[in-house]
Amino acid sequence: MNTATQIISSKDLLKHWQGHRSLTRRVIEAFPEKDFFEFSIGGMRPFSELTSELLAIGAPAMKEIVNREGKPYDEASKKLSTKAQYLEKWDEATEEINNYWRQLKDENFSQTFNLFGQYEFPVIENIFYFIDNEIHHRGQGYVYLRILGIEPPFFWERG
């Protein structure tokens, strides 16, 4: 394998995603318990519901991609009652994503897979969607925090 021509390696793309997930975890932490579940504006969902969406995508999606098993998207099972529960599930998902990612071979990224039985795209496109969708919703979360008078974490903090 000629790694010199890779514009990004699989390992670095995982690191990139997990860096974003680490920042999202910090945004979850920044919300007061009550506001995490109740604050919303413009008819949008509170950040707890956006977090449920992210939990319903990340690890379950990677499991499907690796096992090539198309199960329906399930957000209901990711609806939790406390911030602590969300953070616990977040950390479990971090490990699961790492474990499934290790099973992905470079040639898998260009293969098409019908994720959740409805998103039929090359694996790399679905993975970019997971990351972009997380950044997008977290951007919403930043506005929620600002409106609540809370300073969000620095966007470039990913450690």
First to last CA, the chain: 30
Q: Is 137 annotated as a binding residue?
A: yes
Q: Which residue has the tokens 């021509």?
A: 5
3-state secondary structure of 39: coil
CA distance 53 to 128: 16
**By the rule CB under 8 A, 159 interacts with a second copy:** no
Query: What does the per-residue mask of binding to a second copy show for 20-39, with x meaning CB under 8 A?
Result: x-------------------
- What secondary structure letter does DSSP report for 47? H
Residues 83-112 that bind a second copy (CB under 8 A): 106-107, 109-110
3-state secondary structure of 119: strand
Binding-site residue ranges for a divalent metal cation:
137
State the residues that interact with a second copy by CB under 8 A. 1-10, 12-13, 16, 20, 41-44, 106-107, 109-110, 124, 128-129, 132-133, 135-140, 142-147, 149, 155-156
